[in-house]
């Protein structure tokens, strides 16, 4: 099979695995089994499983790294875990440590660099954005699961976990974004420490 067709098949498989099934589903078990056999024979199922597993590992690593920074003091413009962080500095530090990606510095730029997702699609490691300064995407945090996110809230406070279902955050929620981790390196086994 030509290389460009292999890429197309992988893309279709990834869309199906991600729940973006825009194609008609197989009409029978035999048809579904034929598709499965084809994917297996081309080595694509292993690639899909690897990508799915890597995504789950990376999401967990991002959430763990964010949780590891709880208690680091808020410092406006801060981007050093040992001195202090602001909200976007926290996100930047966690993503760089866990995935090797250097995200833009400001929250609005981070929003622009990531893909919008619905709040029902949220998984650990995704970014959640809020309007806390009467401007779009003025605050960012890292989703850690079960409606919770880690962020650097304000001067005089420290990195902490918040509940997105609280009225304050619900009223200011601007949306969620997912960073494309496809180009990232393997996650490190160590986490950021304050």
Q: Which pLDDT score is estimated for 36?
A: 55
Q: Which pLDDT score is estimated for 45?
A: 54
CA angle 95, 150, 69 (to 5 degrees): 65
Q: Give a yes or no: residue 30 inside a domain.
A: no
In whole angstroms, what is the distance from residue 162 CA to residue 150 CA?
6
Q: Give a yes or no: residue 35 inside a domain.
A: no
Better-scored residue on pLDDT, 185 or 59: 59
Q: Domain limits at 108?
A: 52-178
Q: Give a yes or no: residue 88 inside a domain.
A: yes
Q: Which pLDDT score is estimated for 46?
A: 54
Residue 58 has pLDDT above 80, yes or no: no
In whole angstroms, what is the distance from residue 123 CA to residue 101 CA?
18
Better-scored residue on pLDDT, 145 or 26: 145
Q: Give a yes or no: residue 185 inside a domain.
A: no
Convert the pLDDT of each residue in 64-102 to its tens digit: 899 999 999 999 999 899 999 999 999 999 999 988 899
Better-scored residue on pLDDT, 8 or 67: 67
Convert the pLDDT of each residue in 126-160 to its tens digit: 999 999 998 899 999 999 999 999 999 999 999 99
Establish whether 139 is a catalytic residue. Answer: yes
Q: Give a yes or no: residue 184 inside a domain.
A: no
Write the CATH number for 119.
Answer: 3.90.1720.10
Residue 4: CB atoms within 10 A of its CB come to 8
Give me the number of domains the chain comprises.
Answer: 1
Establish whether 4 is a catalytic residue. Answer: no
Better-scored residue on pLDDT, 100 or 190: 100
**Which one of the listed residues 4, 13, 17, 139 is annotated catalytic?**
139
**Which one of the listed residues 7, 13, 17, 151 is annotated catalytic?**
151
Q: Which pLDDT score is estimated for 194?
A: 41
**Which one of the listed residues 4, 13, 15, 87 is annotated catalytic?**
87
Establish whether 13 is a catalytic residue. Answer: no
């Amino acid at each position: 099979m030509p290389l460009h067709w292999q890429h197309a098949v992988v893309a279709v498989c990834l869309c199906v695995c991600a729940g973006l099934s825009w194609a008609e589903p197989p009409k029978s078990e035999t048809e579904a089994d034929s598709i499965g056999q084809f994917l297996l024979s081309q080595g694509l199922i292993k690639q899909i499983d690897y990508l799915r597993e890597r995504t789950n590992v990376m999401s967990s690593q991002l959430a763990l790294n964010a949780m590891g920074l709880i208690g680091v003091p808020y410092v406006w413009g801060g981007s050093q875990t040992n001195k202090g962080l602001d909200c976007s500095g926290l996100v930047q530090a966690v993503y760089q440590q866990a995935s090797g990606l250097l995200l833009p510095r400001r929250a609005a730029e981070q929003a622009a660099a990531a893909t919008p997702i619905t709040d029902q699609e949220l998984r650990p490691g995704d970014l959640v954005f809020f309007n806390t300064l009467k401007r779009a995407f003025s605050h960012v945090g890292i989703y850690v699961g079960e409606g919770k996110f880690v962020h650097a809230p304000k001067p005089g406070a420290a990195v902490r976990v918040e509940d997105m279902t609280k009225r304050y955050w619900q009223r200011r929620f601007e949306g969620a974004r997912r960073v494309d981790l496809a180009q990232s390196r393997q996650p490190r086994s160590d986490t950021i420490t304050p």
